[in-house]
Structure 1
Amino acid sequence: MIVILSFSYYEQGTDPVIDWLLYYKVPFVKICVEDLLTKSHEYNLDVNTGRLSIAGTDITDKIKVIFFRRFYRYLQFENKETLGEISRKIFYESNEELNGLTQFLYKIFEEKIWFPRPEVVNVNKLTITYIASKLGIKTPKSAIINNKNDVVKFHNSCSQGIINKPIGRLSYYTFGRYTYNTYTTKYTEEKIEKLQNSFFPSLFQEAVISQYEVRVFYIDGDFYATAAVSSNKDRNIDIKRSFNTKELRWIPYALPESVKLDITKLMKEIDLVTGSIDLLVDDENNFTFIEVNPVGQYLAPSNQSNYYIDKIIAEWLIKKLQLA
């Protein structure tokens, strides 16, 4: 059996894979963190033996392969009464209880085949940059800074300017009819001048002047790369802001073998069987590694390049199920 750990609502990296599993008539079950709360599912998890039963049936040995995709998230429990700070504390502690349960589930099924393993899904972006640099992979000069003076010094040391971006992966913020997101921002001298003398620790990087960006989906040694080429010379620093514009074209791309070797080396070092990787290519065709997201969105480049990555993932899961 294949188990899919994902969100209860539509998730663009998960649901297309499920369509292919249905097409191939492969047994699977999708479990969401909300399922741990619903009263419509009776389950019993033996903490001493690690055996999991659902509706009185032990399914522990039936589970062979686990597709791990954005499973855990903070839940807002039903709030029948508003108790102020007490309510917030109850919500927090209830989520911590669920988090403890999910961490135990990962432990008892750690010998199963995972795609990818849960302990590396939230691997720190700074750690990956550090490891990539140690492996000799070209990365942007990067620094965590909390004061204006050091930003000025860092800016002066970077000939192509600097950018600011989140350390982690921040979510959306919705206020009424408007939704806001955090994007990579270029820091000019004027913007630096407006900074406060001290501020919250922030990630600054040397800007990379690139011809185009390459999005790579990696799966167990195979590469599916797409170049995002903009016709606008004044293109946005953050490519996400150009996704739905006519100026951006997605083109199937053949990675040089040297780049494949670097990526493979990095993925093995951080124990990732899959991930979405961002690269920048400058005017001299030098590649700069930006980041890898273990559960990044792959659907748009896949559709544009006719890679059918959702089908490839489904077939990988099926193959591992047959070999298990």
Structure 2
Amino acid sequence: MILISSRLDDASTSNVIDWLYYQAKDYLRFNGDGFDASFSYRNGLLYITSHYMEEEVPLICIDSFWYRKCGLNICQKTNSHTYDDIFPNKTEETYKYLSKHASEFALSEFKAYREFIFSHIIRKARTRLGSYKLRELNKIETLTLAKEIGLSVPKTFILNSKNELVKILEIYGNLIIKPLYEGVYDIGEEYAFVSYTSSISKDDLPNIPSYFPVALFQEQIEKQLEIRVIYIKEICYSIAMFTQAYEHSQIDGRRCPQEILRMTPYKLPLEIEKKIVTIMNQIGLSYGALDFILSKNNEIIFLEINPVGQFSAYGNACNYHLDKIISEQL
């Protein structure tokens, strides 16, 4: 059986499953935003119960495990009034105290159980694609490793004071600012709040306080195009994205709607591909989406790695058939 950890809102997973169905492969998908599966551990065996299966299944032999997205969501918060029967005659302050600490305890228990579930699945799977433990990478560590391997990277600074920022702007001119960790992505029915990579210049200094939370700054490099590399088990599928054709996406290509973005296949130099294989092997990733830019000086510059980055739209635009390729790896 092929086990797939994902989310209901991830269309890429569904595209791969279409191929698995065509190939008559047995699979089970569980989704973090669907609460459609539960796990039970009894006498040394881990069982899964799914909305899509009639019976509970022991996870003894797993042919393949694909970690696409986190298929086990954080447990719901505990209601403070859950403890009415256990501790009657409580004040509201006691309710609040129990609610806070009980929720923290329940969350830590859930995380420990989730760690075990994924570790067990990984240990039992004969073939694995993607990584639960490496689903989030430290951008600075990745940039440092890339530079050590021999990839070109932007000049990078972590600052928290205006004086330091002024000095860097004097030397390098405009900078870009991006999150050290993950950006904000909050989409509702009537609103959307998304953080993008932005440009910082001397004109912005009057609006910047003397001190601010630590932030990641990089030199702003003029680029010809962006390069997205989909990495699948030591094979690089590269896509050129002409985001510079649109003013609003020259700093952050994600601002360009994909329906109007021109994308074409791109062949990286062999030495760059070898370095990509090296960095992915050193990190321990069998899948990832890597971002590069081609500068005005024809230099290929590494930006970052997303271990769970999107692939379907890029693969479809370049006829790479990545959905089919992933299905064949499982």
Letter aligned with residue 301 of structure 1: Y
Aligned partner of 1:30 in structure 2 is: 29
Q: Is the 8 A contact 1:12 1:297 kept in 2?
A: no
Q: 2:178 aligns with which of 161, 165, 168?
A: 165
Q: What is the aligned residue count? A: 309
Equivalent residue, structure 1, for 2:129: 115
Q: Is the 8 A contact 1:252 1:305 kept in 2?
A: yes
Aligned to 1:44: 40
Q: Single out whichever of 172-181 and 305-314 deviates more from structure 2.
A: 172-181
Deviates more, 1:142-151 or 1:79-88: 79-88
How far off is 1:298 after superposition?
A: 1.2
Question: Using a 3 Å threshold, how does the CA distance of structure 1 residues 78 and 32 change in structure 2: closer, same or farther?
Answer: farther
1:150-186 Cα distance to aligned partner (Å, 9 max, x none) = 1112222325x21000112224235772111000000
Partner of 1:311, secondary structure, is: helix
Contact 1:13–1:299 under 8 Å retained in 2:
yes
Whether the 8 Å contact between 1:215 and 1:225 is mirrored in structure 2 is: yes
Q: Structure 2 counterpart of 1:53, which letter? A: Y
Distance in 1 between residues matched to 2:192 and 2:256, nearest whole Å: 17
Determine the structure 2 residue equivalent to 1:269.
Answer: 282
In the alignment, residue 263 of structure 1 is paired with which amino acid?
I
Deviation, structure 1 residue 285: 1.5
Alpha-carbon displacement from aligned partner over 1:76-102 (angstroms, at most 9, x marks no partner): 458697966755655444333221111
Structure 1: how far apart are the matches of 2:20 and 2:187?
34
> Which residue in 2 is equivalent to 1:243?
257
Deviation of 1:127 after TM superposition, in Å, equals 1.2
**Cα deviations across residues 213-263 of structure 1 (Å, max 9, x unaligned)?**
0111011111111101142467530111112474x3111111111211121
Deviates more, 1:260-269 or 1:166-175: 166-175
Question: Contact between 2:246 and 2:256, CA under 8 Å: does it hold in 1?
Answer: no
Indicate whether 1:102 and 2:114 are aligned.
Answer: yes
Q: Cα 1:245–1:187, aligned 2, differ >3 Å: closer, same or farther? A: farther
Unaligned 5+ segments in structure 1 are: 318-324
Residue 134 (structure 1) aligns with: 148
* Pairs within 5 Å for 1:211-250: 211-229=224-242, 230-232=244-246, 235-244=249-258, 246=260, 248-250=261-263
2:87 maps to none
Do the aligned residues in 1 keep the contact of 2:4 with 2:66 (CA within 8 Å)?
A: yes
Q: Is the 8 A contact 2:248 2:255 kept in 1?
A: no
- Residues 116-125 or 290-299, more deviating: 116-125
How far 1:293 sits from its partner (Å)?
0.6
Listed as ranges, the matches of 1:30-109 within 5 Å are 30-33=29-32, 43-46=39-42, 49=44, 51-54=45-48, 59-71=58-70, 72-77=72-77, 87=99, 90-109=102-121
- What letter matches 1:200 in structure 2? P
| Aligned twin of 2:293 | 280
Q: Which AA in structure 1 matches 2:288?
A: G
The residue aligned with 1:321 is: none
Deviations 1:297-323 (A, max 9, x none): 112211211212111111111xxxxxx
Does the C-alpha gap of structure 1 residues 88 and 236 become closer, same or farther in structure 2, counting only changes over 3 Å? farther
Normalised TM-score (structure 2): 0.84
Which stretches in structure 2 are left out of the alignment for 5+ residues?
50-54, 83-94
Partner of 1:6: 6
Per the normalisation by structure 1, the TM-score is 0.86
Contact map agreement 1:138 1:289 (CA 8 A) in 2: yes
Counterpart pick for 1:154 among 144, 165, 168: 168
Q: Could you say what secondary structure the match of 2:152 adopts?
A: coil
Paired residues of 2:227 and 2:291 also in contact (CA < 8 A) = yes
- 1:102-161 Cα distance to aligned partner (Å, 9 max, x none): 1011222333232112222212122111111121211111121111111112222325x2
Mean CA deviation greater in 68-77 or 115-124: 68-77
